[in-house]
Chain A
Amino acid sequence: MIHMNNAGKEKWVLSLPPVIYLVGLFLIPTILMIFIAFREPGDYGGVAPLITHNNGSTSLNLTLDGFRYAFSSSFIWKLFLRSMLYSILTTFCCLLIGYPLALLIAKSAKKYRDLLLLLVIIPFWSNFLIRVYAWMILLGPNSAISNVVNSIRHLFGLEPLDLLFSSAAVIICLVYINLPFMILPLYANLEKHDYALIEASRDLGANKSRSFWQITVPLSMPGILAGCGLVFIPCIGMFVIPELVGNNCSMMIGNLIKQQFLQTMNWPLGSVTSIVMTLLVLSISLFVGFLASRSGGLKYARK
């Protein structure tokens, strides 16, 4: 029996229940998945038994085939590249749309700021399927947007397009779903800027655009990076949006993982793909974190 003082006892009385629960439902399943990545697929889905007895010899069925297959399959590579491309495009669009709005809110009078910010968050609170569905209506055949796009295409002698079930629809939905994640960190950063810096630059003869690009943007770098990270990372693993508004040519890596676990039932390959995706996401977040630590923000102000 280890003697514990009261504080030590209390620490464990408090943290043991949540620790046990989270170890059981996060840590163990994650470790299981890593383990399954090195197993062989079963004949009827799932995994093959770990130990088999054949003609008196016992063999341990562990393999790297899953990883070999994943890295040699051009199909999987293509899906990873497409997921990256879509996520980069989404992040860029969110930055382009989100920056002006974050700037507008930061520049608004104090009494309106909370309301304007709330207006950004409200749509984001309603279920994300509903928000994707709203775009299914807006982009559907014969919708106003479809008609405008297709009449413009008609002017140029192009065939009418199906807007819904296209890569464009996937990008639009990804941007719509992730936009608040870009705006909030940007606003949090822009709100803290000292306006005196802008005034000083204007007094020294910089025009509006020069002070924006040389002062506001460099100062908001930490906010930009945080926003980009928060949009990019969840974007990589999205599978519902391509499923609902995409087509066969806009499938993402998440769709493949879902298929491997629920349809083709190749668990080892599914686990391998999931692990590769996690490592990708992890390395990107570390990279963004590294960039953020280098852009201290205010050091630019003294240049």
Chain B
Amino acid sequence: MQGSNKISKSLRVTGTLVYLFLYLPLIVLIVYSFNDSRVNVGWVGFTLKWYKVLFADKQLINAAINSLIIALIASTVSVILGTLAGVALHKYKVPLLSTLVMIPVAAPELLVGVSLLLFFILINFTLGMASITLAHIAFCVSFVTIAVKTRMHGMDNSLLDAARDLGASPVKSFFLILIPTILPGVIAGWLMAFTLSIDDFVITFFTAGVGSSTLPLAIYSMLKMGVTPEVNAASTIIILVTLVLTSVATKLSPQLFK
């Protein structure tokens, strides 16, 4: 749309209203997290007590720690698998792999969740931290694969040819040439996987069983109980952390989000 710098007034107004629709809910939520009132209606006064309540909430802290552990393991394992898959798909045609990678991106999460639940129960695998982590790795691999493939798209293959001509083994050139070249894509993939894992609710909900909880699961059960300002405080912190992580990922791999 080059050369079209005549934006009509009505379009400007509509656009502003849509941005308001996007941001107002989050702003209200953040503002109320500092509000000295039990109910989220009207401003009473400034307080940090909801944050104090939050940091004293053992269950929620434990859930957050679980989330971190799962996300660290899931993103690390899925980065290894996803990088292998990304490189394989870039260099060769692997129809089975490309289909498998597309499943979690295209299928409704609910289906992935219930089929994994069935699977774990039928193979007598105890539901808990381990089953959540295995499920998270499964859907994170796809996104890492896409990130790595995107990064390799513009890569110069002559480096690898040169390495081989100079007598480097495939393994050596993989670790010394290929990995450093696609490292930004790998790191972006890792961050993406980490964010996806920390954020996931639906698949976790089905694969968690009764004993273990993650941060989204804990927030969900709080919401089922009713609206409380403690959730506002938790949400505010989550929004800020997500913002930082994703801006780092965008910096590393801008073409990922195009």
Contacts and interface: CB of A to CB of B under 8 A. Distances in A.
A240 B243 CA distance: 24
Nearest to A106: B1
A36 B118 contact: yes
Give the interface size class of chain B: 35 or more
A257 interface: yes
Interface stretch (B44-52, B98-106, B150-158): B98-106
A26 interface: yes
A61 interface: no
Nearest to B235: A130
A104 B12 contact: yes
A231 to B, nearest CB: 13
A15 B18 contact: no
B242 A11 contact: no
| B contacts with A: majority SS | helix
A257 B110 CA distance: 8
A19 B223 contact: no
Contact of B29 (A23, A137, A196, A243): A137
Interface residues of A, number: 91
Given A19-B94, A28-B119, A133-B223, A261 B114 contact: yes
Given A104-B7, A121-B257, A257-B114, A18 B81 contact: yes
Contacts of B124: none
Interface in B93-135: 94, 96-97, 100-101, 103-104, 106-112, 114-119, 121-122, 134-135
B15 A101 contact: yes
A251 to B, nearest CB: 14
Contacts of A23: 100
Contacts of B96: 19
Given A15-B88, A32-B119, A119-B22, A22 B4 contact: no
Contact of B108 (A118, A136, A236): A236
Contacts of A193: 1
B231 interface: yes
A6 B174 CA distance: 14
Interface string A259-283: 0011000010011001001100100
Interface string B177-221: 000000000000000000100010110001000000000100110
B246 interface: yes
Contacts of B250: 118
Contacts of B54: none
A274 to B, nearest CB: 6
Interface in A131-182: 131-138, 140, 142-143, 176, 179
A223 to B, nearest CB: 12
B256 to A, nearest CB: 11
Given A26-B103, A130-B219, A190-B1, A125 B88 contact: no
For the complex of A and B, the 9 pairs showing the least CB-CB separation, nearest first, are A237-B108, A134-B25, A29-B119, A14-B88, A104-B15, A18-B85, A29-B115, A15-B88, A25-B138
Given A14-B91, A285-B106, 8 more contacts: A21-B81, A109-B5, A126-B26, A138-B24, A138-B25, A194-B2, A195-B3, A239-B110
27 contacts: A17-B81, A18-B81, A18-B85, A21-B141, A22-B97, A22-B103, A25-B119, A26-B100, A26-B104, A32-B122, A100-B11, A100-B15, A101-B14, A104-B7, A122-B246, A127-B235, A129-B216, A129-B219, A133-B223, A134-B235, A198-B4, A233-B108, A237-B111, A239-B110, A244-B223, A277-B108, A277-B111
Interface of B: 1-5, 7-8, 11-12, 14-15, 18-19, 21-26, 28-29, 32, 39-41, 80-82, 84-85, 87-89, 91-92, 94, 96-97, 100-101, 103-104, 106-112, 114-119, 121-122, 134-135, 137-138, 141, 145, 170, 195, 199, 201-202, 206, 216, 219-220, 223-224, 227, 231-232, 235, 238-239, 242-243, 246, 250, 257-258
